[in-house]
């Protein structure tokens, strides 16, 4: 119940942001929501099931391109976004059958090349996908401020929906089974957990919202290209966010998204030339000294005892 109240309060507060914030702030908030969706999604497969997936970038790009191509063929916006999520879901379910029997580093490497593969496919089909030149999307026929608000609400809605889903999953039989798999897959199987089906479900869940986020992103920036939407950073950042916020927790991913973006903005502004190095350093320090994420401090304070590692 506490989780639901927290989610609703945060959602309402954020929904009021366009009343007070500038367009710059709104752009930041939209990015935070997008990051939150991606981190929350990765948490299903990486945090709960313990499979270090780098396929997030592939799902993001697939969603972006699916939606962009549909829109350019005259499909209505909600339909295109929905199809993008669905395409990512189906793709993940099929891909899961091929790579989810791999474990640890092997799985990580297999999932890493998926985005590269999709990018090459996009590059080789210029007539259909625009190839390396990228794809332009028609702008919405509304004012710039209205656009900022529209995409902010779209991303916020997706983030809230995704987090609500996370709350449900964490408490469900599926979430329980995934935590069993994360700790001892063979023992889980022996205990009656259909590990293959559970892992595939987690992998598909880690794709569907990311696909939709990619679609919204494409409409938001009006232009996508393969190097942008299949960028490996789109796979790495969600992991960092989850590690920062708290692996396998409900609100950790969202908290991590806020922290990472805040750092990105601050560091980028103050250390223009070496911002990547400084950011990397901060992340390493945080992960080293707070292996359970920022939320673990809060939890320790609340429960008055140390969290078992």
Partner 1 sequence: MLVLEEVSRRFGGLNALDSVSLTVNKGEIVGLIGPNGAGKTTLINLITGVHAATSGHVRFEDRDITGLRPYQIARLGLARTFQIVQPFPKMTVLENVAAGALFCGHASTTREAMLIAREHLTFTGLAGMADQPAASLTLARRKRLELAKGLAMRPRLLMLDEVNAGLNPSEVEEALRIIRKIAEQGVTIIVIEHLMKVVVSISQRLVVLHHGQLIAEGAPRDVMSDKRVIEAYLGAKYAATRSTH
Q: Which residues bind partner 1 (CB under 8 A)?
A: 171-173, 176-177, 179-180, 183-184, 186-195, 308
- Kindly state the tokens that stand for 256: 């991590």
Judged by beta carbon, residue 34 or residue 180, the one nearer partner 1 is 180
CB 53 within 8 A of CB 207: no
Nearer Cβ to partner 1, position 165 or 176? Answer: 176
The C-alpha atoms of residue 115 and residue 276 are separated, in whole angstroms, by 22
Listed in sequence order, the DSSP H helices in 16-133 are: 17-20, 23-42, 56-72, 77-99, 104-124, 126-129
Minimum distance from residue 78 beta carbon to partner 1 (Å) = 35
Whichever of 153 and 176 has its CB closer to partner 1, that residue is 176
C-beta of 249: minimal distance to partner 1 in Å?
13
CA terminus-to-terminus distance, the chain: 26
Point out which residues pair with 136 in neighbouring strands.
223
Which CB sits closer to partner 1, 219 or 249?
249
> Please, what is the minimum distance in Å from the beta carbon of residue 48 to partner 1?
12
| Smallest distance from partner 1 to CB 1, Å | 14
Q: How far is the CB of 188 from partner 1 (least distance, A)?
A: 7
Question: Taking the C-alpha atoms of 85, 91, 92 and 95 in order, what is their torsion angle to the nearest 10 degrees?
Answer: -170
Closest residue by Cα to residue 199 from 221, 216, 177 = 177
Nearer to partner 1, 18 or 252 (CB): 252
DSSP-assigned beta bridge partners for residue 224: 135
- Would you put residue 74 in left (φ > 0), alpha (ψ -120 to 50) or beta? left
Q: Nearer to partner 1 by C-beta: 16 or 192?
A: 192
Which three-class secondary structure state does DSSP give residue 140? coil
CB 231 to partner 1: min, Å: 33
What's the CA gap between 299 and 309, in Å, rounded? 13
Q: How far apart are CA 271 and CA 141, in angstroms?
A: 38
Q: Angle at which helices 23-42 and 233-245 pack, to 10 degrees?
A: 80
Q: Decide whether 133 or 171 has the Cβ nearer to partner 1.
A: 171
Minimum Å distance from CB 276 to partner 1? Answer: 34
Q: How many other C-beta atoms are found inside a 10 Å radius of the C-beta of residue 239?
A: 21
* Shortest CB 42 distance to partner 1, Å: 20
Nearer to partner 1 by C-beta: 145 or 183? 183
């Amino acid at each position: 119940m506490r989780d639901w109240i927290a989610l609703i309060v945060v959602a309402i507060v954020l929904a009021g942001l366009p009343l007070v914030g500038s367009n710059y702030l709104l752009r930041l908030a939209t990015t935070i929501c997008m990051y939150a969706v991606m981190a929350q999604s990765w948490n299903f497969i990486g945090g709960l099931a313990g499979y270090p997936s780098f396929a997030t970038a592939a799902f993001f790009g697939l969603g972006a391109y699916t939606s962009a191509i549909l829109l350019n063929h005259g499909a209505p916006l909600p339909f295109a976004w929905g199809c993008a999520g669905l395409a990512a879901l189906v793709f993940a379910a099929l891909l899961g059958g091929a790579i989810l029997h791999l474990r640890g580093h092997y799985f990580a490497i297999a999932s890493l090349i998926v985005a590269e593969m999709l990018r090459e496919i996009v590059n080789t089909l210029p007539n259909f996908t625009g190839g390396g030149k990228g794809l332009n999307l028609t702008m919405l026929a509304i004012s710039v401020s209205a656009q900022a608000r529209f995409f902010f609400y779209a991303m916020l809605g997706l983030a809230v929906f995704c987090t609500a889903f996370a709350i449900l999953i964490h408490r469900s039989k599926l979430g329980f089974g995934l935590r069993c798999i994360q700790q001892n897959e063979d023992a889980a199987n022996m205990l009656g957990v259909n590990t293959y089906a559970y892992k595939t479900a987690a992998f598909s869940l880690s794709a569907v919202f990311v696909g939709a986020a990619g679609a919204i992103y494409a409409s938001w920036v009006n232009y996508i290209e393969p190097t942008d939407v299949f960028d490996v950073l789109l796979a790495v950042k969600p992991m960092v966010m989850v590690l920062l916020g708290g692996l396998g927790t409900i609100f950790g991913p969202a908290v991590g998204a806020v922290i990472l973006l805040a750092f990105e903005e601050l560091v980028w502004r103050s250390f223009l030339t070496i911002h990547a190095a400084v950011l990397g350093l901060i992340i390493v320090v945080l992960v080293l000294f707070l292996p359970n994420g920022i939320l673990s401090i809060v939890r320790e304070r609340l429960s008055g005892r140390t969290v078992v590692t």
